[in-house]
Structure 1
Amino acid sequence: MPSKRLSVVVTRRLPDVVEARMRELFDVRLRDDDTPMTRAQLAEVMKEADVLVPTITDTIDAGLIAGAGERLKLIASFGAGFDHIDVATARSRGVLVSNTPGTVTDDTADMTMALILAVTRRIPEGLATMQKGTWDGWAPNAFLGGRLAGRRLGILGMGRIGQAVARRAAAFGCQVHYHNRRRLRPETEAELGATWWESLDQMVSRMDILSVNCPHTPATFHLMNARRLKLMKSSAVLVNTSRGEVVDENALTRGLRNGELAGAGLDVYEHGTDVNPRLRELPNVVLLPHMGSATYEGRVEMGEKVIINIKTFEDGHRPPDQVVPAML
């Protein structure tokens, strides 16, 4: 007689191939529509499931975890970030947490470069002109942007994505600099052609472009605060494809409006979908709807990692992508 299959609840719609594979392997409950579950719905399913598969749109806090049933033993998050989950409370309750690292690296790095180019070369302004039908021909001084070659790019957070950005930026002729809580190995620095700055303040004051690529933790909340933003050159550009909470959005908006920064490219926001309306009014700001990792290939890879984490757990082993205290 076959053993009972794990009860798995998925909180959002996933690619069809991922959902089909989950149906084959688990007793899975999938969403019919692609809307986030309410807190009440999350509380209900967490009382009955063995495994919860949330996404970054689901806040799994201490209250929800405390109210979970005894069956819940794994939160297998669909995504690389895990700041939406109270990992410490989960561990204290004997609930493991896993994520999907590495699957979004290239896609997010590509989008980082796209935003850098969009801001420095004024692509949205050109696009808007063409869509309005107001272009009256080429002119020597029209839509003048800046050349990337020779510019100093400062990378805040030199993990997988930061290093992928460094490789792409080097191909454009940028000088790569970085600040990280741990310095890279000398051979990695040499391979990337990257210069390490122990002082974040000193680095940001000298960069032409700052790319934010660090996770959101208590230590990185408002790491780019009003004081540090004022250190940046008035000709500098800030790009953020990591977590909105790392940048003080109100201070950034003030700086852009006052001409203290040349521009910004944002794919993430401090308050989720509640974007500062003043940002939308600025012609030197490019705003995207958190689509840095939005490729079909990446989403399927994320789903495959979730399945591997659940299957490994089901087989009595530690999930390969378990979130551990050292990562917090």
Structure 2
Amino acid sequence: MNTGQNHRPHGRVLVVDPAPGDTAVTELAALDDLGLVPTVNLRRVSGPELRARIAARWATVDFDGFSEEELARQLEDDGRGYDALKCRAGIPLTESVLERATAGALQRRLVLVGRAAAGSDTFDRTAAQRLEVAIRTTPGANAAAVAELTLALMLDALRGVSRRSNALRAGSWSAAVEGLPTGGLMNARLGLVGSGAIARRVAELGRSFGAEVLVHGSPRFTAERAAQWPGHRVESLAELLAGCDVVSVHVPATVETDGLIGAEELRLMRPGSVLINTSRASVVDEKALDEVLRDRRAGLSWAAVDVFEEEGPGFRSVLADNPHCTLSPHSAGMTLSAMQESSRRLLGEFAEFMKETGLTHGGSR
């Protein structure tokens, strides 16, 4: 561990993964200015020059942030503890990790966790509330980026761009032109499962391509709210699935959405239809999707998936060898501008929390 430079004795923050590129230095300096002295995990920092710049100014460690045991051990820090944690990936902030990070024997206990992303489904929110650990995220910061990739996956699924490219690289013109002419978004019915910021942006983009947009949202998506949308409200999920050429999923991972779309729902989809999932793996049953896609009697003809049950270096999926599916490595929100905006918003959340709690004056509560 590099000890870094001396800092004023205010709060301590463990930065599990800083913002990408030069934004990392800006983010770390802003945390320092807030009175939260960063200790930076270099495991996911790319480039020796950036790593050296960070190590010259701040304390550094190197550990696997996706390992529950390593994360807990770092948060304990040989009894010193941390006031805050910042991350951008879906780290395993389980009840066990939270209990170890808030133990009474620590000099400092964890009181604030911030993730520069919309979701927190890998965090045990119930345990966090019980242990008085505040959780802050940045919903909507990456809406434009996720919507862009969603549209790109739709167009690829409808027009076959990637598979036609692969056929040409293999030297087969006949395979490359198979299935022409194709469908497109013009005059298609585009169904959105979800009514948040990402879904709304997808609706706007879909309309600009000439699609008719239908939306099935949460109970909060009332007829009054729907009237302000670039799309038509649909009462039931079944109606949406059966009535659209393209269905795109945009709901968070919750108890209510777990397994929302399984084999029964997938078999409702109309002939030649396409499914896009850039939300969470738990929403669409991965094995059911694989089976329905392989059944050529089913209406669903293609899927594009950006989220999986097992991601990262240990990636595994039954969809990996499915010939009717486009795969993307959970990259929908990963544009530089989106990640910069997420970092900026999270810093604002940290500043507001510290103002409300006085964290910079004497450390943890």
State TM-score, norm by structure 1: 0.89
Superposed CA deviations along residues 55-100 of structure 1, whole A, max 9, x for unmatched, are: 3331101111112135210011121101111111111111100001
Q: What is the RMSD of the two structures over their aligned residues, measured on CA atoms?
A: 2.4
Relative to structure 1, the CA distance from residue 185 to residue 318 in structure 2 (aligned partners, 3 Å threshold; closer, same or farther) is farther
After TM superposition, give the deviation of residue 209 of structure 1 in Å: 0.9
Q: What percent of counterpart residues are identical? A: 28
After TM superposition, give the deviation of residue 130 of structure 1 in Å: 3.1
Number of the residue aligned with 2:167 = 129
Show the 5 A alignment for 1:188-203.
Answer: 189-203=226-240
Number of the residue aligned with 1:323 = none
Does the CA-based 8 Å contact 2:18-2:27 persist in structure 1? no
Structure 2 CA distance, aligned partners of 1:91 and 1:196?
A: 35
Does the CA-based 8 Å contact 1:245-1:271 persist in structure 2? no
Number of the residue aligned with 1:293 = 333
Number of the residue aligned with 1:53 = 86
Structure 2 CA distance, aligned partners of 1:218 and 1:185?
A: 21
Relative to structure 1, the CA distance from residue 318 to residue 7 in structure 2 (aligned partners, 3 Å threshold; closer, same or farther) is closer
Could you say what secondary structure the match of 1:30 adopts?
strand
Superposed CA deviations along residues 257-291 of structure 1, whole A, max 9, x for unmatched, are: 012211001111133343324x2333331111011
Q: Quick check: 51-60 or 118-127, which moved more? A: 51-60
After TM superposition, give the deviation of residue 224 of structure 1 in Å: 0.2
Equivalent in 41, 50, 73 of residue 70 of structure 2: 41
After TM superposition, give the deviation of residue 46 of structure 1 in Å: 2.4
* Letter in structure 2 aligned against 1:60: L
Does the CA-based 8 Å contact 1:239-1:264 persist in structure 2? yes
* Letter in structure 1 aligned against 2:72: A
Does the CA-based 8 Å contact 2:64-2:70 persist in structure 1? no
Relative to structure 1, the CA distance from residue 317 to residue 177 in structure 2 (aligned partners, 3 Å threshold; closer, same or farther) is farther
Does the CA-based 8 Å contact 2:85-2:110 persist in structure 1? yes
Number of the residue aligned with 1:325 = none
Number of the residue aligned with 1:225 = 262
Show the 5 A alignment for 1:99-138.
Answer: 99-135=137-173
Structure 2 CA distance, aligned partners of 1:134 and 1:219?
A: 46
Number of the residue aligned with 2:350 = 310
After TM superposition, give the deviation of residue 242 of structure 1 in Å: 0.7
Q: Quick check: 259-268 or 279-288, which moved more? A: 279-288
Given the alignment of the two structures, is residue 271 of structure 1 paired with residue 271 of structure 2, yes or no?
A: no
Show the 5 A alignment for 1:18-167.
Answer: 18-23=24-29, 24-25=32-33, 26-34=36-44, 36-37=64-65, 38-47=67-76, 48-69=81-102, 71-135=109-173, 143-167=180-204
In terms of Rg, which structure is larger? 2
After TM superposition, give the deviation of residue 201 of structure 1 in Å: 1.4
After TM superposition, give the deviation of residue 117 of structure 1 in Å: 0.2
Relative to structure 1, the CA distance from residue 144 to residue 270 in structure 2 (aligned partners, 3 Å threshold; closer, same or farther) is farther
State TM-score, norm by structure 2: 0.80
Given the alignment of the two structures, is residue 17 of structure 1 paired with residue 31 of structure 2, yes or no?
A: no
Number of the residue aligned with 1:179 = 216
Q: Quick check: 145-154 or 241-250, which moved more? A: 145-154
Structure 2 CA distance, aligned partners of 1:121 and 1:64?
A: 46
Number of the residue aligned with 2:12 = 7
After TM superposition, give the deviation of residue 316 of structure 1 in Å: 2.5
Structure 1 CA distance, aligned partners of 2:91 and 2:180?
A: 41
Could you say what secondary structure the match of 2:74 adopts?
helix
Relative to structure 1, the CA distance from residue 183 to residue 94 in structure 2 (aligned partners, 3 Å threshold; closer, same or farther) is closer
Number of the residue aligned with 1:322 = none
Number of the residue aligned with 1:282 = 322
Does the CA-based 8 Å contact 1:236-1:262 persist in structure 2? yes
